[in-house]
Amino acid sequence: MAKYGEGDKRWIVEDRPDGANVHNWHWAETDCLEWSRNLLSKLLNNLTILDGEGNLFIKINKVEKVEGEAYVNVRKGKIIPGYELHVALSWQGEAKDNEGNSLLKVDGSVEIPYISDENADEDPEIRVTVKDESPIGKTLKDAMFAKGKPVVEDKVRVYVQSMAKGGPAKEELETKKVEKKGQPVAGASVRKVSVSPVVEKKEVKKEGFKTISLTEKFSCRAKDLYEILMDENRWKGFTQSYARISKEVGGEFSIFDGSVTGRNLELQEGKLIVQQWRFGNWPDGIVSKVRLTFDEPEPGITIVKVVHTDIPEEDRYGNETVVENTERGWRDLILNKIRAVFGFGI
């Protein structure tokens, strides 16, 4: 045991004399803001939106500003991107008559107020403005929004995917992997090691999944809480989002505007709900299991226990906030909302 005031050296990660960050044990953070400006400019500058369709000509001129923060953290080879960006673009449009004569030329802007790793699975809000609000100017603005919005969203997705892969840190990681394969660590003895297929199988082992458990008390009957969770109209009410819910075993459901989908596995009215849950931003093929049990120790008091298993640690974009966001969603968007909207608080 270490003396008071001294660390136990078995648990201290010291800097190596050669400065090597072995296995990326230390956090290695790369500032990606300038890289983000360059990539977004490459994706969006001089981008044609309409080239004569309906006698309209529209193009994005350039990225005017990229503000905020963007970075990539790497530890033990795992990539953790983080970014919150405000992006502004300039665009120009021209309307012509059937003879090709110019009717009006306009300038405008496109604003993307919030591109964030927290919303990596969602398309960002896009605002289009034009300096000339005449009828023709409004026509050009509407065309820019209708035709340009999907194009801009597609380019933003490319940026999001590039950040999830490591952004500018990806090349550095790949370079280090090549160096590691070709060169031994200085001072280390060199010996031949035969790699068997059994070693490779360790990477296939199922890992990276978590379980969350919540227990909450409500001032209501168990059957009332059960009915709320299985009734699509009440879901729409307390979540303010679209829901479609089957009340049959084997039936499917879709909640939070389709962000979560699944199937009923087992139902016991007022006692038990077991379902498969899948979030739209999870990697393909991954489903989790939700088990809700209802206990009424005395009339008018219900204790519900939520056990949510097989939650992936990362979404399809490499963000590692899935478990945290899922637990927060259960508390803030479902259980606390039911308590507040239906007056079931204790």
User: Between these two residues, 189 and 220, which has the higher pLDDT value?
Assistant: 220
What's the token pair of residue 164?
A: 């999830």
Interatomic CA distance for residues 38 and 41, integer angstroms: 5
CB neighbour burial string for 145-168, b if at least 16 within 10 angstroms, e if fewer = beebbebbeebbbebbebbbebbb
What's the token pair of residue 237?
A: 């009410």
What's the token pair of residue 293?
A: 């049990």
Interatomic CA distance for residues 162 and 266, integer angstroms: 41
The tens digit of pLDDT for each residue in 229-284 reads 999 999 999 988 899 999 999 999 999 988 899 999 999 999 999 999 999 889 88
Phi, psi dihedral angles at 133 (to 5 degrees): -95, 25
What's the token pair of residue 193?
A: 């090691």
The tens digit of pLDDT for each residue in 149-163 reads 999 999 999 999 888
Interatomic CA distance for residues 303 and 296, integer angstroms: 6
User: Between these two residues, 2 and 289, which has the higher pLDDT value?
Assistant: 289
Interatomic CA distance for residues 289 and 308, integer angstroms: 6
pTM above 0.75, yes or no: no
Distance linking the first and last C-alpha atoms of the chain? 48
The distance of Cα 121 from the centroid of its chain, to the nearest Å, equals 4
Indicate if the pLDDT at residue 314 is higher than 60: yes
pLDDT score of 233 = 92
pLDDT score of 77 = 62
The distance of Cα 37 from the centroid of its chain, to the nearest Å, equals 21
pLDDT score of 171 = 59
Angle at 71 between CA 70 and CA 74, to 5 degrees: 160
- For 294-320, what is the mean pLDDT? 91
CA atoms within 13 A on the CB side of 173: 19
Quick one: pLDDT band at residue 326, thresholds 50, 70, 90? very high
